[in-house]
Amino acid sequence: MADPRSRVLLDQAALAEGLDALAGRLWGRLDGKEVTAVPVLGGGMFFAADLVRRLPAGLVMDFIRIRTYGDATSPQKAPKADWLPHPENIESRTVLLLDDILDTGRTLQEARRIMIEEMGAAEVLCVVLVDKPIRRAVPIEADDRVLTLEEDLFLVGCGLDFAGRFRNLPDLRALEPDEA
């Protein structure tokens, strides 16, 4: 399948630099804590894989999946978890909740609620590749991010997709309007 018509926002070198800086900021916040990294499947796993290799050894990995998008370019339904981490990996631990993008906030808000209210996390840090506050629909903020995007662009690559495609692009791109 051909690459979509798009423009590169962060190439591979800029992404690596951003991930290195993010990991450096997180080291101090995680040092000495029992940490579980929880990527939001599916797009969050790409970001998480790149980030956790830069973090202190010994953290636990588990996963959550929350459905909202389907094949559309905007959320189509209320967020609903259909895959949860093992409770022993969350209870009384610091959870590093990782996702590719924080836009409306509904997915991360629900994931954070589950980690705290239902699973007993001691602390949840929401960390994303892209923070897009222009699209925020609920009151949630990222604790840290690689990039804050002020424009309302539709993004692909680095885990972000269009109808399930283009997650595996090695750079972060904005689709041209006629593609999205």
Average confidence (pLDDT) over 120-144: 97
- In this structure, is residue 173 part of a structural domain? no
- In this structure, is residue 142 part of a structural domain? yes
Average confidence (pLDDT) over 112-120: 98
- In this structure, is residue 177 part of a structural domain? no
- In this structure, is residue 116 part of a structural domain? yes
Give pLDDT, residue 177: 77
Whole-prediction pTM: 0.91
Enclosing domain of residue 108: 33-151
- In this structure, is residue 63 part of a structural domain? yes
Give pLDDT, residue 18: 98
Domain count, the chain: 1
Average confidence (pLDDT) over 28-52: 95
3-state secondary structure the chain: CCCCCEEEEECHHHHHHHHHHHHHHHHHHHCCCCEEEEEEECCHHHHHHHHHCCCCCCCEECCEEEECCCCCCCCCCCCEEEECCCHHHCCCCEEEEEEEEECCCHHHHHHHHHHHHHCCCCEEEEEEEEECHHHCCCCCCCCEEEEECCCCCCEEECCECECCECCCCCCEEEECCCCC
Q: What is the CATH number of the domain that holds 98?
A: 3.40.50.2020
- In this structure, is residue 120 part of a structural domain? yes
**More confident call, 70 vs 96:** 96
Percentage of the chain with pLDDT > 90? 83
Where in the sequence numbering do the catalytic residues fall? 103
- In this structure, is residue 138 part of a structural domain? yes
Could you read off the pLDDT of 58-77 as tens digits, one per residue? 999 999 999 875 555 555 56
- In this structure, is residue 91 part of a structural domain? yes
